[in-house]
């Protein structure tokens, strides 16, 4: 099996590094994760850190092409790579990639992020999600949802990502649960309550006044209607429901429409429930889209 190793994909974020060793068909052979995110390294120390982390694989298999993506290509990373502009597919992402030879002879390919220059008031940005969408495949036009701390809604058109929009749903949820007066008092450790989640979604569907709706996390408790066990899921329903409502109003889908969820940040099941409440039919992408996308863009770069 060792002889099959054909490439490495490194997803290098702010607080962690995840590396995957794959065969020529993109199947995972081995993977590892460290907490050596870019925030823990000084400028100039990245190559050493990467070589050390990957040394077991590199000494077994020799030089291998390595795709690196994530915050590693941001201003605070190893090298800042300009965002590629929408519309873009694998060819455009490859054209924006930066190739470098490591001291053991490996080709390292830094994959760029993507920007949507049409978004107001400022161009929107993503770094990593565009690789997942590319890995999912761009053959079919349609709406793609990538749930996350900063969820993305993207439009695929004519084989490219035509545009996208960010919703900071996950971060607002975390702020409300961890730092606010509004939603403090939720049971610890966290309790998930599917009915309370659905309740939050329904309330979000009926309200355009988000700054007022959020206060219901507090008034529900005062009214004795919302328990500490329900609070977390209710708040999650409110904010994800607001994302679906706002994404609909922004034109990303219509009632009775379809969308595909790509990526897996642990939120997909919740997003499927939300889509159902908002009458949006969901197809699920595969789990290995990041690897597939990274290999696809790297192949374009090295060819």
Q: Which residues bind a second copy (CB under 8 A)?
A: 119-125, 150, 165-169, 171-172, 175-176, 178-182, 203, 206-212, 214-216, 219-220, 222-223, 225-226, 239, 242-243, 246-247, 249-250
- The nearer residue to a second copy, 14 or 51, going by C-beta atoms, is 14
Label each residue of 98-149 as H, E or C: EEEECCCCCEEEECCCEEECCCCCCCEEECCHHHHHHHHCCCCCEEEEECCC
Query: How far apart, in whole angstroms, are the C-alpha atoms of residue 17 and residue 37?
Result: 6
In the complex, what is the shortest distance from the CB of residue 299 to a second copy, in angstroms, rounded to a whole number?
Answer: 29
- The nearer residue to a second copy, 67 or 214, going by C-beta atoms, is 214
- What does DSSP say about strands 281-284 and 258-261: parallel, antiparallel, or unpaired? parallel
- The nearer residue to a second copy, 92 or 243, going by C-beta atoms, is 243
- The nearer residue to a second copy, 92 or 124, going by C-beta atoms, is 124
Which helix (H) or strand (E) covers residue 242, if one does? helix 228-249
159 φ, ψ to 5°? 80, 10
Query: How far apart, in whole angstroms, are the C-alpha atoms of residue 125 and residue 117?
Result: 9
Query: How far apart, in whole angstroms, are the C-alpha atoms of residue 145 and residue 285?
Result: 10
In the complex, what is the shortest distance from the CB of residue 30 to a second copy, in angstroms, rounded to a whole number?
Answer: 31
- The nearer residue to a second copy, 9 or 69, going by C-beta atoms, is 69
In the complex, what is the shortest distance from the CB of residue 55 to a second copy, in angstroms, rounded to a whole number?
Answer: 32
Q: State the distance between the two ends of the chain, measured CA to CA, in whole angstroms.
A: 26
In the complex, what is the shortest distance from the CB of residue 215 to a second copy, in angstroms, rounded to a whole number?
Answer: 5
- The nearer residue to a second copy, 74 or 301, going by C-beta atoms, is 74
In the complex, what is the shortest distance from the CB of residue 22 to a second copy, in angstroms, rounded to a whole number?
Answer: 31
Of 155, 143, 138, 222, nearest in space to 184 by CA: 222
In the complex, what is the shortest distance from the CB of residue 143 to a second copy, in angstroms, rounded to a whole number?
Answer: 15
């Amino acid at each position: 099996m060792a002889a099959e190793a054909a490439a490495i994909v490194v997803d290098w974020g702010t607080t962690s590094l995840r590396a995957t060793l794959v065969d020529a068909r993109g199947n995972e052979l081995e993977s590892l994760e460290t907490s050596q995110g870019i925030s823990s390294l000084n400028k100039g120390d990245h190559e050493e850190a990467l070589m050390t982390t990957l040394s077991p694989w590199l000494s077994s298999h020799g030089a291998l092409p390595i795709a690196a993506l994530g915050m590693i290509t941001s201003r605070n990373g190893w090298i800042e790579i300009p965002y590629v502009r929408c519309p873009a597919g694998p060819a455009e992402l490859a054209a924006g990639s930066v190739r470098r030879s490591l001291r053991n002879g490996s080709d390292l390919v830094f994959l760029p992020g993507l920007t949507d220059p049409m978004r107001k008031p400022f161009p929107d940005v993503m770094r990593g999600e565009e690789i997942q969408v590319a890995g999912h495949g761009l053959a079919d036009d349609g709406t793609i949802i990538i749930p996350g701390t900063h969820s993305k809604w993207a439009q695929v058109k004519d084989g490219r990502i035509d545009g996208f929009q960010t919703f900071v749903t996950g971060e607002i949820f975390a702020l409300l649960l961890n730092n606010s007066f509004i939603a403090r008092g939720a049971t610890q450790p966290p309790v998930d309550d599917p009915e309370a989640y659905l309740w939050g979604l329904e309330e979000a569907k009926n309200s355009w006044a988000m700054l007022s709706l959020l206060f219901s996390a507090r008034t529900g408790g005062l009214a004795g209607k919302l328990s500490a066990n329900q609070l977390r899921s209710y708040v999650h329903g409110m904010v994800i429901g607001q994302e679906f409502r706002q994404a609909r109003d922004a034109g990303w889908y219509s009632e009775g429409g379809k969308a595909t969820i790509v990526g897996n940040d642990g939120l997909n099941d919740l997003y499927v429930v939300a889509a159902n409440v908002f009458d949006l039919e969901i197809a699920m992408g595969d789990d290995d889209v990041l690897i597939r996308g990274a290999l696809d863009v790297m192949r374009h770069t090295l060819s």
